[in-house]
């Protein structure tokens, strides 16, 4: 739309200047046209890295779901987006934050290592599996909230704020409740922002210890299918209406890494399993997994 608008302006200027038969005016037009060509080339170059695949929204429709999906090919730098409008909207990360949370726990010394058993606090929880002391290795796999809240108290808001800014995580906001900022907000991130962040972790290029990054990579290794390995984490936040479900991660295949992020509206519990189903269907359709 911006190009059409500028073209119309230049056309009107040209008509007026030609009518006046002004040499100076025509020279101004030539300069204006040169600026326009530069403007077009810059924006075209910026757009080369984005591939709109809203045609694949049919995959969401097949599952009666509303959502978005982004895929970053690290080698080429191309970002493929399904559901462009929603992809830019930030949502609470919920349990997907456990990946970065685990890394921060190791970086700050809040835990000795990934095998340290962290107490859940002894209180009843809506999910019985959470009512057990465990390490972050097990805690990430079953998405244990209370042990990560214990870790959060050890880390503290000040250190979280510094690490979120260092990593460039979404809006980088922690608010004033150290136990819930990734569950209820204010921390938010978009589907477009997640893949570049995950790309750094996949390559162990975040500004953090490479050994600690390798540990988190290992923890979220989900499955292998032929020559492709899937690393991923789910998330489900109940704060907005409707709930938001996440499935983020990356695929490594023959030395090539593709990071991705999916989020959908969770209308009821049956939608929880749709996160993986839709993501895998899209990864398959795009020839990644």
- Could you tell me the pTM of the whole model? 0.83
Give 40's pLDDT tier (boundaries 50, 70, 90). very low
Report the pLDDT averaged over residues 75-97.
98
Give pLDDT tens digits for 98-157: 999 999 999 999 999 999 999 999 999 999 999 999 999 999 999 999 999 999 999 999
Report the pLDDT averaged over residues 35-64.
70
pLDDT value at residue 163: 98
Give 48's pLDDT tier (boundaries 50, 70, 90). low
- Written as six digits, the tokens of 129 are 């599996």
**Helix (H) or strand (E) run with residue 10 in it:** helix 2-20
Is 77:265 a contact under the CB 8 Å cutoff? no
Give 13's pLDDT tier (boundaries 50, 70, 90). very low
Compute the mean pLDDT over every residue in the chain, rounded to the nearest whole number: 88
**Helix (H) or strand (E) run with residue 245 in it:** strand 243-253
pLDDT value at residue 240: 78
Distance between CA atoms of residues 101 and 98, nearest Å: 5
**Helix (H) or strand (E) run with residue 278 in it:** helix 274-285
- Written as six digits, the tokens of 158 are 């000040």
Q: Which residues are catalytic?
A: 95
- 22-59 b/e with 16+ CB inside 10 Å = b? eeebeeebeeeeeeeeeeeeeeeeeeeeeeebeebbeb
- % of the chain surpassing 70 pLDDT: 83
Is 195:261 a contact under the CB 8 Å cutoff? yes
Q: Concatenated DSSP letters for 26-95?
A: HHHHHHHHHHHHHHHHHHHHHHTTEEE-GGGHHHHHHTT--EEEEEEETTTTEEEEESHHHHTSEE--GG
């Amino acid at each position: 739309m911006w190009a059409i608008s500028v073209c119309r302006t230049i056309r009107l200027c040209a008509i007026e200047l030609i009518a006046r038969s002004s040499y100076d005016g025509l020279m101004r037009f030539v300069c204006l046209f040169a600026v326009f060509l530069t403007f077009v080339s810059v924006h075209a170059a910026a757009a080369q890295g984005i591939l709109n695949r809203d045609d694949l929204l049919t995959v969401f429709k097949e599952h009666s779901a509303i959502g978005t999906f982004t895929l970053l090919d690290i080698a080429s730098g191309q970002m493929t987006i399904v559901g462009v409008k929603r992809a830019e909207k930030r949502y609470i990360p919920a349990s997907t934050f456990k990946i970065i949370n685990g890394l921060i726990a190791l970086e700050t010394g809040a835990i000795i290592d990934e095998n340290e058993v962290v107490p859940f606090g002894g209180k009843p929880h809506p999910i019985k599996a959470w009512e057990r002391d465990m390490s972050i290795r097990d805690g990430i796999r079953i998405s244990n909230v209370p042990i990560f809240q214990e870790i959060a108290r050890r880390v503290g808001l000040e250190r979280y704020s510094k690490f979120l800014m260092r990593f460039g995580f979404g809006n980088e906001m922690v608010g004033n409740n150290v136990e819930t900022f990734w569950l209820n907000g204010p921390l938010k991130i978009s589907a477009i922002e997640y893949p570049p962040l995950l790309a750094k972790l996949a390559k162990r290029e975040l500004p953090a210890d490479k050994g600690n990054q390798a540990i988190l990579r290992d923890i979220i290794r989900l499955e292998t299918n032929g020559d492709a390995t899937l690393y991923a984490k789910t998330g489900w936040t109940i704060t907005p209406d409707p709930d938001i479900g996440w499935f983020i991660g990356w695929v490594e295949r023959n030395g090539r890494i593709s990071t991705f992020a999916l989020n959908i509206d969770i209308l009821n519990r049956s939608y929880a399993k749709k996160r993986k189903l839709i993501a895998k269907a899209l990864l398959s359709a795009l020839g990644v997994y």
